[in-house]
Amino acid sequence: MHDSTPIHVGIVGARGHVGAELVRLIAAHPRFALAYVGSRELDGQRLADHIDSYRGELRYSSPANDTLPALGADAVVLALPNGKAAACVAAFDAAIADHASARPGFVQPVIVDLSADYRFDDGWYYGLPELTRSAYAGQRRISNPGCYATAMQLAIAPMRGLLAGPVQCFGVSGYSGAGTSPSDKNDPDKLRDNLMPYALTGHIHEREVTRQLGHPVEFMPHVAPHFRGLTITANLHLAEATTLDAVRARYREAYAGEPLVRVFDEAPWVSRIAGRHHVEIGGFALSEDGRRLVVVSTEDNLLKGAATQALQNLNLAFGLDEMTGIPP
């Protein structure tokens, strides 16, 4: 693909918080161009009336799943609730099997799924680039990690091989993580002066991280009154004693050269990560015997936890610098 050729990206399910962030990122990208932006609720409305930074004339549309392959996008991002991606994917499978239902010369687009639907499917590349980019070999189906799962994995991964027993992760997220469908977990009145625990065992991100790291993780999520940003406090039991200097050096070495992971001595604050595209890790604390380590990580759940990571994966898939279009 010539360096100046636009790469057309379609978004399915763009009304939500993450979809809006994706629109902003792709619209400002030097190579990507929005092919279509799907939303049943906003069908026909001007994108510019909902996204302040968007200046084009594109309108929301609501294409049927079986018409998606004919729309000609080079990449499709599925920003749908869990359980809704399969119907879209099936439409592309059918188009590949029967070219008559697609445009002439149909080529399978890159599909990035932001839901949990394919995170346990070995046929999809699991796209947490800082940990998995070496496994990317041109796969055209990419599963974007969960927001909490991203922060947990990056907080734990440098200590793999030194862990003894399950890792416990206490998480607190802003209510944007609960999506736009009304519930107690995104009701500002019910969250005011409150901290709301939920899914305290068996959360899908608990299973996702356990699978990806190959080590048991126990996760206890909560929702807080702020809108965006999450924090994870990870409690790691170690097989042998270590020192804080050794731990800090291990994390800095692991993420050297990773612009979207920043390691600090002090604990990161969730209020400082809102609107930022990176993860912050720090607050390292060690027990007196050197065998229990506590690590804190923060990220914006809508950005590095979703939209920014999707953009990293799209850049990777099209051979662009991974940071293209990602603000500092």
- Outline where DSSP puts E strands in the chain: 7-12, 32-38, 60-61, 75-78, 110-113, 125-126, 141-143, 167-173, 196-197, 217-223, 230-237, 261-263, 279-286, 292-299
At residue 182, the pLDDT reads 75
Domain shared by 292 and 198, yes or no: yes
Q: Write down the pLDDT at residue 222.
A: 97
Residue 291: inside a domain, yes or no?
A: yes
Q: Residues 153, 103: one domain? A: no
| Residues 109 and 168 occupy one common structural domain | no
Would you say 316 and 133 are in contact if contact means Cβ atoms under 8 Å apart? Answer: yes
Same domain? 248 vs 186: yes
Establish whether 169 is a catalytic residue.
no
Q: What span, in angstroms and rounded, lies between the C-alpha atoms of 314 and 91?
A: 21
Domain assignment of residue 81, given as a range = 7-117
Is 135 inside any structural domain? Answer: no
State the total domains in the chain. Answer: 2
To the question of pTM greater than 0.75 for the whole model, the response is yes
Q: What is the pLDDT along the chain (328 residues), one digit of tens a residue?
A: 457 899 999 999 988 899 999 999 999 999 999 999 999 999 999 999 999 889 899 999 999 999 999 998 999 999 999 999 999 999 999 988 776 544 556 678 999 999 999 999 999 999 999 999 999 999 999 999 999 999 999 999 999 999 999 999 999 999 998 776 777 888 888 999 999 999 999 999 999 999 999 999 999 999 999 999 999 999 999 999 999 999 999 999 999 999 999 999 999 999 999 999 999 999 999 999 999 999 999 999 999 999 999 999 999 999 999 999 999 8
What does the pLDDT read at residue 102?
47
pLDDT at 103: 55
pLDDT at 204: 95
User: Does some domain include residue 325?
Assistant: no
Whether 64 maps to a domain, the answer reads: yes
Taking the C-alpha atoms of 255, 257, 262 and 266 in order, what is their torsion angle to the nearest 10 degrees?
70
Q: Beta-strand (E) ranges in 22-165?
A: 32-38, 60-61, 75-78, 110-113, 125-126, 141-143
Residue 179 lies inside a defined structural domain of this protein: yes
Separation between Cα atoms, residue 233 and residue 256, nearest integer Å: 22
Question: Is 280 in the same domain as 192?
Answer: yes
Within a 10 A sphere around the Cβ of 150, how many other Cβ atoms?
Answer: 28
Q: Which residue in 147, 167, 213, 267 is the catalytic one?
A: 147
Query: What's the CATH number where 259 sits?
Result: 3.30.360.10
Kindly state whether residues 103 and 207 are assigned to the same domain. Answer: no
pLDDT value, residue 16: 86
Which residue, 234, 228, 233, 226, is CA-closest to 300?
228
Domain assignment present for residue 234? The answer is yes
Of 97, 117, 137, the position where a domain reaches its end is 117
pLDDT at residue 107 in the model = 75
Lookup result for tokens 């693909």:
1
C-beta of residue 65 within 8 angstroms of C-beta of residue 80 = no
C-beta of residue 153 within 8 angstroms of C-beta of residue 128 = yes
On whether both 71 and 24 belong to a single domain, the answer is yes
**Comparing C-alpha atoms, which of 264, 255, 280, 246 is closest to residue 157?**
255
Q: Is residue 122 part of a domain?
A: no
Is 232 part of any domain? yes
What's the pLDDT score for residue 95? 87
pLDDT value at residue 123: 96
